[in-house]
Amino acid sequence: MAQAGTYEYAQKVGAKWWLWALTGVAAIAAGVIAIAYPDITVTVLGLAFGVFLLLYGVALIAAAFDPGVDAVHNTLRVILGVVAVIAGLVVVVQPADNVKLLLVIIALWFIIAGATVILEGIVNQEGRWLPKIVLGAVGIVAGILLLQNPDMGLDALALVAGISLVVWGVLEIAASFDIRRMRGA
């Protein structure tokens, strides 16, 4: 029975599996930039993260309109997508205005995204819930770490955000290919 439910879930959300792979690639790219150049200006880090947030938000909003997906998933996706797009626009439009604002936006996004992904993993017992819970936990931990010390230097901010984005991206890509594989099963 669980196998049939997993197949049905993959059929519902699997048509846009590539959106999640794309957001994973964007997360990895932004993370690698942040790790490779920890002393870069806030502007470049802000722009990289802002572009990622915009892509992620658009992908979530697009995925909310998959046919047959339940209202809970659609609502979570729209809420998180709108928050990500707004945060992305704020960061892209004014990335260097305030280091602490950038830190808070990144931290809050990680916490909200993490909690939303965990909730989706708990609610969706048909699909693979463990990767979602791990992905959500990574986001929450990254957000808490960033909020705990708002006065940390840009190098530390870049490193924590970069590592978190790379892990997030890898998990996002893995989940997208898992959905693609289940859809084709």
| Residue pLDDT, tens place only, 90-100 | 878 876 665 66
| pTM of this prediction exceeds 0.75 | no
The per-residue b/e assignment along 154-176, b for 16 or more CB within 10 angstroms, e otherwise, is beebbbbbbebbbbbbbbbbebb
pLDDT band at 5 (very low <50, low <70, confident <90, very high): low
Where in the chain are the domains?
Answer: 2-184
8-34 average pLDDT score: 79
pLDDT attached to residue 1: 39
